[in-house]
Structure 1
Amino acid sequence: MKTKLFIVLMILGLVFTSCEDWLKVNSETELSQDDMFSSDEGFHTALTGVYIGMTATDLYGMHLSWHMLDYLAHYYCLISGSNDTYLHSHQYKHTRVYPYIKGTWNGLYNLIANCNNILAKLEEHKSELNPINYQLVKGEALTLRAFFHFDLMRMFGFGNLRNRDVSSKKAIPYVTTFSKEVTPQLSYSETFELLKKDLLEAIDLLYGENGKNCYRITGDDDFFDNGPNGEDHAFFTYFDYQTSPRVDYYVAKAILARVYMWEGTDEGYAKAAEIAEEWFLTEDDSGQDCWDWVSRSRVTNSNVLYRDRTFSQEHIWHLSVTKLNDIIGNWLDASNPNATYERIFLTQEMAFSIFEVGEGNDVGVNDYRYSYLLQPQGSGLNNYATLKLDQCNGETNYGQKIPLISTPEMYYICAEVYAQQGNLKKAISYLNTVRRARGITADLDENLTYQEVREEILKEYRKEFVSLGQLFYFYKRWGVESVAGYADIMDDTKYVLPYPDEEVISGNRVQF
Structure 2
Amino acid sequence: MMKRILLACISLFFLGCGNFLDINPESEVVNDDMFSTAEGVEDALYGVYMSMVKEDMYGGDMSVLFPEILAQNFLTDEGYWIYLSRLDYSDVYARVSCKDMWIQSYLVISYLNNIIENLDQKSVKDFKYYDLYRGEALGLRAAIHFDLLRLFAVHINSTNENAKAEAIPYVTKYTFKVTPFSSVEEVYEKVITDLKEAEICLVEDKILMPKIRKGGGKGFTGARELHFNLYAAQAMLARVYWMKGDLTNAKKYADKVIQSEKFQFVDQEDLATFMKRRISLSETIWGLYTTEISSFLYDMHMVKTLMTLPSNWKLLYKNTEGPEPGEDKRLSAWFLSKENTGNSKDICVKIMDESNDASEYSGGAYFGFSMIRIPEMYYIMAEALLEEGDKEHARDYLDAVVSARGMVKFADRDTGKDITLDDIMNERRKELFGEGQWWFCLKRLNRDVYVHALDATLKGSDRIYTLPLPTEELDPR
TM surpasses 0.5: yes
Question: Which secondary structure state, in structure 1, belongs to the residue aligned with residue 208 of structure 2?
Answer: coil
User: 1:337-486 maps to which residues of 2 (within 5 A)?
Assistant: 340=304, 342-352=305-315, 354-356=316-318, 363=325, 366-377=327-338, 383-391=345-353, 392-395=355-358, 400-443=367-410, 445=414, 447-448=416-417, 453-483=420-450, 485=452
2: distance between equivalents of 1:113 and 1:193?
Answer: 20
Matches within 5 A, 1:30-429: 31-79=29-77, 83-94=80-91, 96-126=93-123, 129-130=126-127, 132-159=128-155, 161=157, 169-207=165-203, 215-216=208-209, 234-239=219-224, 244-264=225-245, 268-282=246-260, 289-299=261-271, 312-333=281-302, 340=304, 342-352=305-315, 354-356=316-318, 363=325, 366-377=327-338, 383-391=345-353, 392-395=355-358, 400-429=367-396
SS in 2 for 1:58: coil
Alignment CA distance shift 1:20-1:216 (3 Å): closer
* Structure 2 residue matching 1:345: 3-state secondary structure: coil
Tell me how far apart the structure 2 counterparts of residues 421 and 187 of structure 1 sit (CA, whole Å): 29
| Counterpart-to-counterpart distance in 1, 2:133 and 2:227 | 11
| Residue identity opposite 1:147 in structure 2 | A
2: distance between equivalents of 1:294 and 1:477? 29
Task: Supply the AA of the counterpart residue of 2:407.
Answer: I
Q: Which residue of 2 aligns with 1:286?
A: none
The Cα of 1:207 is off from its aligned counterpart by: 0.9
CA contact under 8 A between 2:86 and 2:451: conserved in structure 1? Answer: no
The normalised TM-score by structure 1 is 0.79
Distance in 2 separating the partners of 1:357 and 1:52 = 40
- Indicate how the Cα distance of structure 1 residues 60 and 22 shifts in structure 2: closer, same or farther if over 3 A, else same: closer
Q: Deviations over 1:458-496 (max 9, x none)?
A: 101210111111001111011112447452223111101
**Residue 446 of structure 1: how far off its partner (Å):** 6.0
Q: Is the 8 A contact 1:69 1:472 kept in 2?
A: yes
C-alpha deviation, 1:269, in angstroms: 1.2
Which secondary structure does the structure 2 equivalent of 1:126 belong to? Answer: coil
Aligned partners of 1:412, 1:108: CA distance in 2, in Å? 28
1:76 alignment partner AA:
F
Q: Cα distance, 1:316 vs. partner?
A: 0.5
Alignment-derived partner of residue 501 in structure 1: 471
Deviation at residue 313 of structure 1 after TM alignment: 1.8
- Contact 1:8 1:50 survives alignment (8 Å): no
- Judging changes above 3 Å, is the alpha-carbon distance between structure 1 residues 382 and 429 closer, same or farther for their aligned structure 2 residues? farther
Q: Which residue does 1:222 correspond to in 2?
A: none
Deviations 1:108-156 (A, max 9, x none): 11111111100011122337622x4111100100000100111111111
Q: 1:306 to 1:406 in 2, by over 3 A?
A: closer
SS in structure 1 opposite 2:282?
Answer: helix
Please report how far the alpha carbon of residue 393 of structure 1 lies from its aligned counterpart in structure 2 after TM superposition.
1.9
Question: How much does 1:237 deviate?
Answer: 2.4
Letter in 1 for 2:472: E
SS class of match (1:375)? strand
SS of residue in 2 equivalent to 1:291: coil
- Give me the whole-angstrom Cα distance separating, in 1, the residues matched to 2:451 and 2:324: 20
Report if aligned partners of 1:170, 1:185 keep a CA contact under 8 Å in 2.
yes
Indicate if the aligned counterparts of 2:325 and 2:407 stay in contact, CA closer than 8 A. Answer: yes
8 Å contact 2:276–2:352 — kept in the other structure?
Answer: no
Q: How many residues align?
A: 456
The letter of the residue matching 1:89 is R
Paired with 1:384 and 1:127, the residues of 2 have a C-alpha distance of: 53
Matched to 1:235, the amino acid is F
1:337 corresponds to:
none
- The range that moved more, 140-149 or 455-464, is 455-464
Q: 1:320 to 1:179 in 2, by over 3 A?
A: same
Letter of the structure 2 residue corresponding to residue 111 of structure 1: V
Distance 1:498 1:167 in 2: 12
Maintained 8 Å contact 1:298/1:308:
no
Q: 1:41 to 1:77 in 2, by over 3 A?
A: same
Shift of 1:173: 0.9
Q: Aligned with 1:31: secondary structure?
A: strand
- TM-score, structure 2 normalization: 0.84
Distance (Å, rounded) in 1 between the aligned partners of 2:270 and 2:6:
36
CA distance in 1, matches of 2:388, 2:320: 34
| Cα separation, 1, equivalents of 2:287 and 2:274 | 19
Report the CA distance shift for 1:46/1:420 in structure 2 as closer, same or farther (over 3 A).
same
How far residue 326 of structure 1 moved from its aligned partner, in angstroms, is: 3.6
Q: In the alignment, is the contact (CA less than 8 A) between 2:56 and 2:62 conserved in 1?
A: yes
C-alpha deviation, 1:426, in angstroms: 1.5
From the superposition, tell whether residues 311 and 453 of structure 1 become closer, same or farther in structure 2 (CA, over 3 Å): farther
The one-letter amino acid of 1:297's match is: E
The 1-side partners of 2:23 and 2:130 are apart by 19
Q: Give, in angstroms, the shift of residue 399 of structure 1.
A: 7.0
d(CA) in 2 for partners of 1:399 and 1:96?
A: 37
* Secondary structure in 1 matching 2:337: strand
The AA in structure 2 aligned to 1:423 is D
Unpaired runs of 5+ residues, structure 1, are 219-231, 283-288, 335-339, 508-512
Cα distance in 1 between the residues matched to 2:236 and 2:208: 18
How far does residue 100 in structure 1 lie from its aligned partner after superposition? 3.0
Per-residue CA deviations over 1:159-194 (Å, capped at 9, x if unaligned) read 262999889622211111111111122333322221
Alpha-carbon deviation of 1:381?
8.2
Partners of 1:310 and 1:388 within 8 A in 2: no
Amino acid at match of 2:75: C
Runs of 5+ unmatched residues, structure 2? 212-216
Q: Is the 8 A contact 1:418 1:424 kept in 2?
A: yes
Q: Secondary structure at 2:113's aligned position in 1?
A: helix
Secondary structure at 2:291 match in 1? coil
Q: Are the counterparts in 2 of residues 173 and 185 from structure 1 also a CA contact under 8 Å? A: yes
- Output the CA distance in 2 between the equivalents of 1:155 and 1:423: 32
> Which residue number in structure 2 is paired with residue 510 of structure 1?
none
Q: Secondary structure at the match of 2:302?
A: coil
Identity of aligned residues (%): 29
Look up the equivalent residue of 2:314 and give its one-letter code. Answer: A
**Alignment partner, residue 214 of structure 2:** none
Q: Distance in 2 between matches of 1:126 and 1:245?
A: 24
CA distance 1:237–1:312, shift in 2 (3 Å): closer
